[in-house]
């Protein structure tokens, strides 16, 4: 009998498609493509659904998709929506598996507007300040949580 292992969904919020093109002192030079490759490498045989949108509603729809697909876990960098989106928080609350929130920069060392993530109130864990490498750690954490 073969058992299907559900995918890890990696969701990225606004402006992250431009990663690597500006503010290298804050966000480094890694592109979102590099991060996707690192997630797939870390996950091995486990499938990765990797997505980015600049739209809040699209991110909510993708969280619903992860719920319906019984995803193994969600890794989410909601970017600016971390601090504003009750809709994303409400959607994540419906997901029963592990949720790891990732920020490339250490949001706690930054300006006040970047320090209170609403998403952190529903995340299983939060990784911030470890650059693009934080995504790899988040994928690992989900693999360990489900093992």
- Bridge-based pairing state of the strands 99-103 and 8-12: unpaired
Report residue 96: phi and psi, to 5°: -85, -20
Q: 98 — alpha (psi -120 to 50), left (phi > 0) or beta?
A: beta
State the nearest-atom distance from the C-beta of 13 to ligand CA2, in Å: 7
Catalytic (active site) residue 103: yes
Does residue 136 interact with ligand CA2 by CB under 6 A?
no
- Rounded Cα–Cα distance for residues 114 and 107 (Å): 6
By CB under 6 A, residue 80 contacts ligand CA2: yes
* Contact pick of 52, 53, 77, 85 for ligand CA2 (by CB under 6 A): 77
- The residue within the footprint of ligand CA2, chosen from 103, 119, 126, 132 (CB under 6 A), is 103
Residues 6+ apart with CB under 8 A from 61: none
**Total number of residues that touch ligand CA2 (CB under 6 A):** 16
The contact set with ligand CA2 (CB under 6 A) reads 15-16, 18-19, 21-23, 27, 77, 79-80, 103-105, 107, 114
């Amino acid at each position: 009998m073969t058992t299907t292992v559900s995918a890890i969904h990696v969701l990225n919020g606004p402006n992250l498609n431009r990663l690597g093109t500006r503010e290298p002192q804050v966000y480094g030079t890694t592109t979102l493509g590099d991060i996707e490759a690192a997630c797939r490498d870390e996950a091995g045989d486990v499938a990765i659904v990797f997505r980015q949108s600049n739209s809040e509603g699209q991110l909510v729809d993708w969280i619903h998709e992860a719920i319906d697909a019984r995803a193994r876990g969600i890794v989410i960098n909601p970017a600016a929506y971390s601090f504003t989106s009750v809709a994303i928080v409400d959607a994540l609350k419906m997901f029963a598996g592990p949720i790891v929130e990732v920020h490339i920069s250490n949001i706690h060392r930054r300006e006040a507007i970047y320090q209170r993530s609403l998403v952190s109130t529903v995340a299983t864990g939060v990784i911030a300040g470890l650059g693009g490498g934080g995504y790899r750690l988040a994928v690992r954490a989900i693999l360990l949580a489900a093992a």
